[in-house]
Structure 1
Amino acid sequence: MRHGGKKKDSESTQIERERGNVCENCKAKLTVVYDGFNFVVQTFIEEHTHPLATPSRVHLLRSHRGVSDTKIKLVKKFSNVNIPLYQQFELLETQAGGHESVGFIERDLRNFERDEREKIKGRDAEMLYEYFKSEEDKDSDFFFKFETDNNNRMTRCFWVDSVARKAYTHFGDVVVFDTTYNTNRYAMIFSPLVGVNHHGQTTIFGCGFLSNETFDSFVWLLETWLEAMKIAPTVIITDQDQAMTKAIAQVLPNTFHRYCVWYILNKFQEKMGYFAHHNYYALFKTAIWESETVEEFEKSWYEALEISQPSSKEWFEEMYKLRGTWIPTYVKQYFSAGMSSSQRAESMHAFFKRYCSKSNSLMDFVTRFNRALAHLRHEELVADHGD
């Protein structure tokens, strides 16, 4: 308890958080002075004006709590592997032999992480830029580009290392491009470009952060990526985002743009209606996946339409007009590395979200991304070794 009493401002209208009284005007104290030769007790008043903390509560006193440097290092390692804070504290409790032996409480840990976030507040993009510059110094083939607005806030960035650029020269015929949310606290849109290697494993061809999904943003990202890679892919697979479609047509005019089959099929129930989907969806699946010729597909497609009478005929007419971009029998002349949809990118997003969360700073995200990327590349090494 503190010496002195708590002052009250009767004129204040500010609502304060309820908290325990830590000022008891207690006179108990111990004063020690150094007389030039020894430390000497100058004052000792033993009597307290309040009950003392019981042994079971001593570890809760602020004077007895503190996150040590050793614990800080351990907590940072836990955070690097995306262990939630409450589980971090449970691990520390287990290691210490009980919560009373940890040295602090869970709130102290939350306050520490809050203070760490405050340290980089307003400097996150600057730190990321400095990190990319240091990577560029270490790796002459590391490539990155930043773009900022009038307030010097990052709006777009792209990066790719030498390993990914080399992989692209071998496996870059087919690229899957998709975006995802909830990977960082600024709601920047994570935009990886991925493909498959000689083991059928996912490989990364570069990544970007975008502040929005507009035509201009996609043009910037694709042009920057092409600047790094030099050669355009033969095929690119995406969903049906219109801004992305227009950007690809402008930046990659000689690349065949294939739409994701999985993305389109997922809309069938909505566009058919529940009853029609339940009873006749199998007819469309047969037409899409089992037709070996264009004529066979068209015959099966029209029969399925005639029988099912879907609720949104306009959408099915639009999908039929676009059949040359997503129906297997129309696109089979293009090498697609066994990929017919952007599910490769979707599974990649799910993989990265095991390492990242929407509370990450940009620098946190890239640190965790690099660890996930190292895992992917080690899996390729293991497969190579098995060969």
Structure 2
Amino acid sequence: MSVEQLEANSDCRLVEDISFLSHSKFVDNVYIPQVTKNCKPKVGQEFESIDGAHEFYIKYAKEAGFSVRSSSTKRCKGMNEVVRKEFVCFKEGVSSIKDGERKRFRGMTRKNCKAKVAVVMSKMGKFVITVFVEEHSHPLSTLRKVHLLRSYRSVSEAKKSLTMQFSAANVPIHQQISILEVEAGAKVRNELRGQDAELLKEYFLAKQEKDPYFFFKIDVDDDGKLKCCFWVDSVSRRAYGCFGDVVVFDTTYNTNQYGMIFAPLVGVNNHGQTVLFAYAFLNDERTESFVWLFERLKDSMPTNNPKMIIIDQDPAMTKAIAQSLRNTFHRYCSWHLLEKFSTYLNAITYRDFYKDFQQCIWKSKFLEESERKWVTTIEKASLYDNDWLKSIFELRSR
């Protein structure tokens, strides 16, 4: 018997018309889960029971990033046997509470989402998928947060037994929760160990399907471990095409659990606002790593190299710019220079003369004026023998 016949024999009318939904990945306000093919439900797929179909759809929903709830049920007259069942997205339907009646702000629990799956009992006693709608009307959860959705928030019998033992031993509730959090965190870390790089690649591939101009490059070492990663989307590429003549480049530390260096490339638009051009994770700060990053920047951007790049006084960056961006003017960041004054001057000298040095850098319109103010400040502070200040003065043309 065909799927259409099964659906007709179940005597269950579809509540909504799904003909207006497109299966294209580029339809506005439609979110299509990016999952593996063997995890995706298919019309005509058979299951031994409703529970089997339910478990399969929950597994698919967890990978896709949404929660599941039961919807309509059709039973056979007289025998009270379920012959048709629907499982829908947890944001199906429309909220009955109006915005003005809400006592506190919460995320919208109902978005009139049409995503669902319907199974019908066949003559052979098996349950067959007859309807599958995969498009969602709302953003989907990430892999890191999907465990917080209602379908996956459950306490196992082992955990319940453990909490009862804690209570019998007079362990406070807050300590019980802390112990369970530590145990759960270790379990999640062990499950994801060695898989995060692969998850990142899958995420980039999914972004590339939605955004044809999304560009990424991943480099691994001899052991197959992630060494460098570079990515840029269509918005950043357009911004670079308009405002990429000047690029500011800096790195950050200790911002992720993997100890990798985050290296964003940014600029300023015509409104004086910061815009992001590209992003990268680097394993180290060697010249080779920075050369790799700059080469990926050149590969991904539609226009020529930047006219000017501003960095801090990192020698590896300086060498990389000389190798990869030979026609780009290289300048040192004034903010980074001023931040180092407190390190190379004693507390009293810094207190008395920092503003004078600051005016030399920020308040001078011409090079001659800046040099004159600098020499005057050195004389007043008696800092003739400060080697760091000498090196800074020699770098003034940069």
- TM (norm. structure 2) is 0.54
Give 2:319's aligned residue.
246
Note if contact 1:210-1:217 (Cα within 8 Å) is conserved in structure 2.
yes
Q: Which has the higher helix share?
A: 1
Note if contact 1:276-1:309 (Cα within 8 Å) is conserved in structure 2.
no
Q: 1:226 deviation in Å?
A: 1.2
SS at match of 1:159: strand
Query: For 1:321-360, what per-residue CA distance to the aligned partner results, in whole angstroms no more than 9, with x for missing partners?
Result: 11112xxxxxxxxxxxxxxxxxxxxxxxxxxxxxxxxxxx
Give 1:199's aligned residue.
271
Query: For 1:234-271, what per-residue CA distance to the aligned partner results, in whole angstroms no more than 9, with x for missing partners?
Result: 22111110100111121112211121111111112332
For 1:1-387, list aligned pairs within 5 A. Answer: 105-230=177-302, 231-310=304-383, 313-325=386-398
Q: Quick one: percent identity of the two aligned structures? A: 45
Query: For 1:119-166, what per-residue CA distance to the aligned partner results, in whole angstroms no more than 9, with x for missing partners?
Result: 111111122112212222322211111111111111111011111111
Give 1:17's aligned residue.
none
C-alpha root-mean-square deviation of aligned residues, in Å?
3.1
SS at match of 2:383: coil
Rounded to whole Å, the distance in 2 between the matches of 1:321 and 1:253 is 22
Note if contact 1:158-1:209 (Cα within 8 Å) is conserved in structure 2.
yes
Rounded to whole Å, the distance in 2 between the matches of 1:146 and 1:209 is 9
Residues 1:234 and 1:182: Cα distance change in structure 2 (over 3 Å): same
Deviates more, 1:123-132 or 1:194-203: 194-203
Rounded to whole Å, the distance in 1 between the matches of 2:145 and 2:254 is 17
Rounded to whole Å, the distance in 2 between the matches of 1:221 and 1:236 is 14
SS at match of 2:305: coil
SS at match of 1:323: coil
Rounded to whole Å, the distance in 2 between the matches of 1:111 and 1:238 is 43
Rounded to whole Å, the distance in 2 between the matches of 1:105 and 1:282 is 52
Rounded to whole Å, the distance in 1 between the matches of 2:200 and 2:355 is 49
Query: For 1:160-198, what per-residue CA distance to the aligned partner results, in whole angstroms no more than 9, with x for missing partners?
Result: 111111111112122111111122221011111111223
Give 1:343's aligned residue.
none
Rounded to whole Å, the distance in 2 between the matches of 1:138 and 1:283 is 53
SS at match of 1:156: strand
Number of matched residues?
237
- TM (norm. structure 1) is 0.56
Q: Which runs of 4+ in 1 moved over 6 A?
A: 76-79
